[in-house]
Structure 1
Amino acid sequence: MTAFTAMTSADTAGGRPRQRFVSDYADLSQRIRDAGLLRRRPLYYAIRATLLALGFAGWVVAFLAVGDSWWQLALAAGLGLLLTQTAYLGHDAAHRQIFVSGRRNELAAMLLGDVVVGLSHGWWMSKHSRHHANPNKVDVDPDVEPAALVWTSDVAAKRTGFAGWWVRHQGTLFFPLLLLAGLNMHVSGLRTVFGRGRVKFRAVEIPLLLARLVLYPVALFMFLSPGIAAAFLAVQLAVFGFSMGATFAPNHKGMPMIPKDLTLDYLRRQVLTSRNVRGGRAMNVAMGGLNYQIEHHLFPSMPSPTLRAARPIVREFCAERGVDYTEAGLFESWRIVVQHLNRVGTTDVDLFECPVAARLRSPV
């Protein structure tokens, strides 16, 4: 029996009753509401959008001034970072953090995603919504589905030949692999809008996404010589993919996995599988507020600038309820991810067995 499975019996048999677990989140939510942390922050988002627009305008001026030069590769890296920041803003809109109106949030998310960044809003919503509902849950969370990387030893053990060699070294290869993440996200978006699954705005997304993904490289090859244009595109995609992956990976990778057949209460499901990244205001900007991943998962519609203020409230509440609240520095969290991936690929690891779950086995 796994630690999390054993915990289920403690929920219902004489230990903490299930109702107590349900009321925990209600109690925390009340504290957050009383602190006024769920109110929209229109001025903040207006300033953030304006700064992004100015950043793109400055980038265009620099691009035209530099001309057909290999110095364009520095601007390609800058564009990758600008697009990452735009994706963060689109992420906030998709979570309905910006406007009171859901329709306005959807429109903003689609324009920022499909038109500016080149990522399908429909693909992102499907994938990210399932992740938020069941983070790190085996066979449920799409972010831990086995593909180029595997997250459980039982899957790794089935890989042989080159695939077996790959999983044994997947932690070491993780960050180089992120250089291809940008390209993979574009391809995944196209597969979604042209696939058979349900896409809410398919008729709108297809022309928007195609226009962005076709006209952008065409413009590069019109203004730059072929070699520089190709290098520009490669650098921009690599920086964008790396920065996105390096932001999202530390938040859950290496945290406890949840068996498919187990249902945890909402608060513990979100807190025990998430990790915050320390670093203050500079880290807030670099990670778009996603460094406060615990608070974001508990309150997905909370505006990102108030996540920082929610942290001490959530941390104190978790301490009161005996729920582990995990934080790490950025480089420490990256090291944890790499070690975790290598460990999964080389040893027989029961990922459900962890100190947190072990403590929750027995009734309290």
Structure 2
Amino acid sequence: MATNSTVRPLPSETAGSDFARLSRKIAEAGLMGRRPGYYALRITIVTGLYAGGWAAVALIGDSWWTLAVAAFLAVVFGQVALLAHDAAHRQVFRRRRASEVSGRMAGAGIGMGYGWWQDKHTRHHANPNHEELDPDLDPDLLVWSQDQARAAKGLPRLIGGRQAFLFFPLLTLEGFNLHLSSVKALANRSLKHRGLDGALLLGHFVVYLSVLFWLLPLGMAFAFLAVHQCLFGVYLGSLFAPNHKGMPTLKGEDRPDFLRRQVLTSRNVSGGRLTDIALGGLNHQIEHHLFPSMPSPNLRKARTIVRGYCEELGVDYVETGLITSYRLALISLHQAGAPLRNSRVPA
């Protein structure tokens, strides 16, 4: 299992390559330097919002207004997930130990197994949108290509034909899936520090459920859990859906050089500083995939350099608005499920 989610191309891919020349431009612009002040402020704000949200649950108590706090905490949990993402990529700290400690703390705060997620995300970065190598394209629930649709069985075969219409409703389960996948991964003996991950997960679930069922009546506690986890799932899915869905997919030996492998399978989302905050910098997905350890506040500046360089090379650089990105993702899902809409073959 990879232990560092910062993906670096092999030396053979960089020596005198297009990516190597781009890297020099980025380094000369000083965009790979740490941003300790930015992250200190961001961590302080998110931690304050996290603590404030749970304090509000305690203060409001037995009132249906507490469900508004559940919605608020869903967004805060998403922001904690984004901090865990940045820490895992060593955007926050240069040293591995500090990155792992901070990433695990953030993961524990939202019930996510850090080791499981880091391994999965590392493999995604190495081969984005590759049908056999990118775990984000596993057809475990949805199908991402027509070839996957033709081979689908079970649940993906059942819902694949209508998956574009079901996509956002299914995102309400993504928070629960995050927890379940984290727990299931503990059975993998090759997972590093699985004992620690297991203890942190157990601690999160015990504290989370104890607080809810101690502070709130039974029915309200269940309602809070449902609203919080479902909206958290929608926010998580909405963060990642615009980035690669609807972009070209690869298969087999189809592996372009590092620069093209990252740029051609990724999509940027245009917008201002509010978009940067809401999407945690992942709206600059092309730059993030090229330079995973670049601090997220530097990605906007890198965009100008990367886009101009891609234009010089004649490499397609895709950027759309947020709503358009969701529309393209849904169109892609609908097209991928086409073989199942007219299929009469039983699952």
The question of a shared fold, defined as TM-score above 0.5 by the shorter chain, is answered with: yes
The alpha carbon displacement at 1:22 in A equals: 5.8
2:26 is matched with which residue?
A: 32
Against the structure 1 CA distance between its residues 20 and 228, is the aligned structure 2 distance closer, same or farther, given a 3 Å change threshold?
closer
Against the structure 1 CA distance between its residues 181 and 20, is the aligned structure 2 distance closer, same or farther, given a 3 Å change threshold?
closer
Matches within 5 A, 1:264-279: 264-279=256-271
The alpha carbon displacement at 1:163 in A equals: 5.0
Contact residue 128 and residue 265 of structure 2 kept, 8 A: yes
Unaligned 5+ runs, structure 2: 1-11, 341-347
2:335 is matched with which residue?
A: 343
The alpha carbon displacement at 1:319 in A equals: 0.3
- Aligned residue pair count: 329
Contact residue 22 and residue 266 of structure 1 kept, 8 A: no
Does 2:169 correspond to 1:176?
yes
The alpha carbon displacement at 1:45 in A equals: 0.2
Does 2:117 correspond to 1:124?
yes
2:131 is matched with which residue?
A: 138
Could you list the per-position Cα deviations for residues 253-303 of structure 1 after superposition, in whole angstroms to 9, with x for gaps in the alignment?
010001122221000000000000111111000001000000000000000
Say which of 73, 80, 87 aligns to 2:74. Answer: 80
Does 2:136 correspond to 1:105?
no
Give the greater-gyration-radius structure (CA): 1
RMSD: 1.7
1:240 is matched with which residue?
A: 232
Contact residue 153 and residue 347 of structure 1 kept, 8 A: yes
Against the structure 1 CA distance between its residues 80 and 161, is the aligned structure 2 distance closer, same or farther, given a 3 Å change threshold?
closer
Secondary structure of the residue aligned to 1:270 is helix
2:345 is matched with which residue?
A: none
1:224 is matched with which residue?
A: 216
Alpha-carbon distance between aligned partners in 1 of 2:322 and 2:77, rounded to the nearest angstrom? 21
* Letter paired with 1:45: Y
* Letter paired with 1:189: S
The alpha carbon displacement at 1:219 in A equals: 1.5
Does 2:179 correspond to 1:186?
yes
1:147 is matched with which residue?
A: 140
* Letter paired with 2:49: G
Secondary structure of the residue aligned to 1:300 is coil
The alpha carbon displacement at 1:204 in A equals: 1.3
The alpha carbon displacement at 1:205 in A equals: 1.2
Task: State TM-score, norm by structure 1.
Answer: 0.87
Contact residue 22 and residue 265 of structure 1 kept, 8 A: no
Secondary structure of the residue aligned to 2:17 is helix
* Letter paired with 2:54: V
Unaligned 5+ runs, structure 1: 1-17, 349-364
The alpha carbon displacement at 1:52 in A equals: 1.0
Could you list the per-position Cα deviations for residues 15-60 of structure 1 after superposition, in whole angstroms to 9, with x for gaps in the alignment?
xxx9899610000000000000000000000000111122123223
Against the structure 1 CA distance between its residues 135 and 72, is the aligned structure 2 distance closer, same or farther, given a 3 Å change threshold?
same
Could you list the per-position Cα deviations for residues 99-139 of structure 1 after superposition, in whole angstroms to 9, with x for gaps in the alignment?
121110111001110x2111000111110000000000111
Matches within 5 A, 1:269-308: 269-308=261-300
Does 2:53 correspond to 1:44?
no
- List structure 1 runs of 4+ shifted beyond 3 angstroms: 18-22, 158-165
Say which of 190, 197, 202 aligns to 2:194. Answer: 202
Alpha-carbon distance between aligned partners in 1 of 2:317 and 2:117, rounded to the nearest angstrom? 27
1:212 is matched with which residue?
A: 204
Against the structure 1 CA distance between its residues 314 and 163, is the aligned structure 2 distance closer, same or farther, given a 3 Å change threshold?
closer
Against the structure 1 CA distance between its residues 102 and 66, is the aligned structure 2 distance closer, same or farther, given a 3 Å change threshold?
same
The more displaced of 274-283 and 339-348 is 339-348
The alpha carbon displacement at 1:69 in A equals: 1.0
Alpha-carbon distance between aligned partners in 2 of 1:102 and 1:39, rounded to the nearest angstrom? 16
* Letter paired with 2:217: S
Matches within 5 A, 1:318-337: 318-337=310-329
Contact residue 143 and residue 152 of structure 2 kept, 8 A: no
The alpha carbon displacement at 1:238 in A equals: 0.7
Contact residue 137 and residue 257 of structure 1 kept, 8 A: yes
Against the structure 1 CA distance between its residues 262 and 158, is the aligned structure 2 distance closer, same or farther, given a 3 Å change threshold?
closer
Alpha-carbon distance between aligned partners in 1 of 2:197 and 2:59, rounded to the nearest angstrom? 33
1:64 is matched with which residue?
A: 58
Against the structure 1 CA distance between its residues 72 and 302, is the aligned structure 2 distance closer, same or farther, given a 3 Å change threshold?
same
Task: State TM-score, norm by structure 2.
Answer: 0.91
Contact residue 140 and residue 156 of structure 2 kept, 8 A: no
Could you list the per-position Cα deviations for residues 337-363 of structure 1 after superposition, in whole angstroms to 9, with x for gaps in the alignment?
111101111159xxxxxxxxxxxxxxx
